Amino acid sequence: MSVVEELKNKTVFELKSYAKQNNIDVFGVSKKVDILEIILNFIPKETSEPVVKQKPQEKVAVYSERNLNWVGVGELKIGYNIVTKEQAEKWISNRSVREASPEELKGAYGQ
């Protein structure tokens, strides 16, 4: 049974719960048809194209001296953070961030 068929069989209350769980705003809408229309606009259309598996990204440990947030890159908390290699290259350009060695991580976490 597809997602659309499952949604059509739900009650108004169940549809509103589904919308809330998926961060879909249905405030002020009370008819099942209207709620379904809103929800179905957020469900991606099925395509016949095969799904391409992505290669696992290489991870790198970095140490941050402070909490940092960079739009488009991510955020770091004080201490050790695990990020992708591409993110690490960008973060290391910040003077508060440095790459952490595996030995340093072992020592920090008592292994």
Please state the pTM of the whole predicted model: 0.51
pLDDT(5) > 90: no
pLDDT(50) > 90: no
If residue 106 lies in a helix (H) or strand (E), which one and from where to where?
helix 102-108
Task: Delimit the domains of the chain by residue range.
Answer: 3-40, 59-108
Distance, C-alpha 60 to centroid of its chain = 19
Q: Which two tokens stand for residue 14?
A: 């169940």
Residues 6+ apart with CB under 8 A from 107: none
pLDDT(47) > 60: no
Residue 91: pLDDT band (50, 70, 90) is very high
Task: Give the model confidence (pLDDT) of 67-81 as tens digits.
Answer: 999 888 899 999 999
User: Percent of the chain at pLDDT above 70?
Assistant: 92
